[in-house]
């Protein structure tokens, strides 16, 4: 048993299918905890407060920032998004592997604070497929789709700062690959300090 849970950040272009991937991962394996972010954007059809996001006003969001309740926060296409700190810390200490599904600026801030964080980047197989998925969602205006594609170009500039790339072509294969990568982190020496101390102590007595 490694010292604590793995903190994994999943980012990717809007339309890469991160949401579906996360749902599938959580339904297949029970050691994951998905962090629920706060956002100032409005709920989409089918989204519920406290499940997909905590939907808050600008004032509430600013208060969370002032009171240092957020592990990181960033602006994305005219809205603020942030990760509540306490839930993440509690779950990691309880040994859960915590997943933050956040954009790139936030991901890099988390990595700065916690260098052991695993950064995973999810992409669709190509740009045409991304556009198709964004349009097919039907919930966004042409303007928002354009903004999200512009943002994807910016994110592509930073994607090579991530540790692993996952191409979401076949959902099933992508979920399994993500699971394998995260689980492999448990074997990292840096996440096994307790074991190292224990065996050193035992050997000292031999």
Chain residues in the site for ligand 5GP (CB under 6 A): 14, 37, 41, 72-74, 76, 81-83, 101-103, 105-106
CA distance 148 to 154: 10
What minimum distance in Å lies between the beta carbon of 3 and ligand 5GP? 25
What minimum distance in Å lies between the beta carbon of 192 and ligand 5GP? 29
Q: Is the CB of 79 or the CB of 188 nearer to ligand 5GP?
A: 79
Q: Is the CB of 4 or the CB of 40 nearer to ligand 5GP?
A: 40
Q: Is the CB of 91 or the CB of 105 nearer to ligand 5GP?
A: 105
What minimum distance in Å lies between the beta carbon of 125 and ligand 5GP? 19
What minimum distance in Å lies between the beta carbon of 70 and ligand 5GP? 8
Cβ atoms of residues 88 and 34 within 8 Å: no
Enumerate the H helices of the chain as residue ranges.
18-28, 58-66, 85-93, 104-113, 127-136, 142-158, 171-184, 193-204
φ/ψ (deg, to 5) at 193: -60, -40
Q: Is the CB of 102 or the CB of 124 nearer to ligand 5GP?
A: 102
Angle at 81 between CA 77 and CA 86, to 5 degrees: 170
């Amino acid at each position: 048993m490694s010292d604590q849970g793995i903190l994994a950040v999943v980012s990717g272009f809007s339309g890469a299918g991160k949401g579906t991937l996360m749902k599938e991962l959580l339904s297949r394996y029970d050691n994951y905890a998905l962090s629920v972010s706060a956002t100032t954007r409005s709920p989409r059809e089918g989204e519920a407060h406290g499940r997909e996001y905590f939907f808050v006003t600008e004032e509430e969001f600013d208060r969370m920032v002032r009171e240092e309740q957020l592990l990181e926060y960033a602006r994305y296409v005219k809205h603020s998004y942030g990760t509540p700190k306490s839930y993440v810390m509690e779950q990691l200490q309880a040994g859960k592997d915590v997943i933050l599904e956040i954009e790139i600026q936030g991901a890099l801030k988390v990595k700065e604070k916690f260098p052991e964080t695993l950064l995973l980047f999810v992409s669709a197989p190509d740009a045409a497929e991304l556009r198709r998925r964004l349009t097919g969602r039907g919930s966004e205006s042409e303007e928002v789709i354009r903004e999200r594609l512009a943002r994807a170009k910016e994110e592509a500039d930073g994607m090579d700062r991530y540790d692993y790339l996952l191409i979401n072509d076949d959902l099933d294969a992508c979920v399994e690959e993500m699971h394998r990568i995260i689980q492999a982190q448990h074997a990292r020496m840096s996440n096994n300090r307790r074991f190292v101390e224990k065996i050193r102590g035992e050997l000292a007595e031999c």
